[in-house]
Structure 1
Amino acid sequence: MAVVLSETAGKLVGEAARLIMRGGYNGFSYADLAERFGIRKASIHHHFPSKVDLVVRVVEQGRLAIRAQIAALEQGSPIAMEQLLTYTGYWERCIKDQTAPFCLAAVLAAELPSLPPEIATSVRGHFIDLARWLEHVLSLGVEQGTMKLDASPAVEAETFMAAVYGAMLVARAFDDPERFEVIVQAFIHRVQA
């Protein structure tokens, strides 16, 4: 269920997401947000009593957006390979134009051992959602005869997730967005029937 945020809360969530993508959970503070928007930290606490509350909202807003994108993908095309290519194409564009150079949940997943439990639960939820969707898409691809899998759809879904997130990391490490596409395409070629 979507939570309607006030204009200020929405701006705080958006900026927190941007800061997390750039520097992780510990890479920003309420002082950064207060300075960015010219407000007092007390104003931020009014909307989000703690940083944990804010970051959970950031992750959950992201999960809602992804669910909406998946629903649109499924309605737009019943063809599994097209859904997979649209998903990877989204990340390819985001990495190239730097709108989302790295998945926020992936940044937070790297910090899981040190994150508060509420945030860790939301981050894990993101990966569970994504794995289920990818498993569905890969199963559909097998049914449609456009994909062949070496392992179960569940294992292949997690393998694909690892390829996508690993490709993000490689693109970032080498400061070369093109590497993302090369790595992801290798997986896609492997599963094409």
Structure 2
Amino acid sequence: MVWKQLMFGFHGTGIDNATKIMNNGFTIAKSNKVPNDLGTGVYFYINSAFTFSPIMMAKNYSIVYKRISKAKITVLQAEIDEEATLIDFDLKSNLIELVKYRDANFDKIKNILNTVEKGNGLAARGNLDGIVIELFKTYLEEKYNVRVDGVKKNTFTPQHDLYKYKQSNMPNGRELCVYNLNRISNLKICE
């Protein structure tokens, strides 16, 4: 007998948006803006070796980046199919390949940056990782004839009680960005 392995992801959002997601599922809106740090997809926090729980990280993300008041945050739990093809950028070999790809395709990255809107703050802080990761994902899919369902990486999210300290090089949580919505199931609201 084969048991399907599941991973639980936690997504922080406002009460109204949580209701829409529970009724209709997640959607991935395509835009002409710089992609988020791990690309364009649905973002979750997952269990990690760090002391902060993924639920707390989802809440803090909502407070710091989405400017949702603490009283209006809802955290959704989802099951993520462990059989999903996920690139783990905390594995040194994957990170090395990503950096090589980035360096070899820098002109392509600059051209894309020149065609996107810079209004979501990522361009202002000089983060092009989302562009690089999306290009790398497409490269891997074409080279290996496989669908990449998402990526995961240890990241830093400011904690709302230390909000004035916005930057760090030390991760405090683990994020998962899911591109393939079919890998997300069994949504429920965390109590």
Task: Pick the TM interval, shorter chain.
Answer: under 0.3
- Structure with the higher fraction of residues in helix conformation: 1
Question: Which of structures 1 and 2 has the bigger CA Rg?
Answer: 1
- Structure with the higher fraction of residues in strand conformation: 2
User: Bigger relative contact order, structure 1 or 2, given CA contacts below 8 A and separation 6+?
Assistant: 2
TM-score normalised by structure 2 residue count: 0.27
TM-score normalised by structure 1 residue count: 0.27
